[in-house]
Amino acid sequence: MKRRIHAYVEGRVQGVFFRDFARREAYPLSVKGWVRNMSDGRVEVVAEGEEENLKNFVESLKKGPPLAIVTDVEVEWEEYRGEFSDFRIKSYWD
Give catalytic residue positions: 19, 37
Cβ atoms of residues 92 and 40 within 8 Å: no
Beta bridge partners of 78: 4
First-last CA distance in the chain = 29
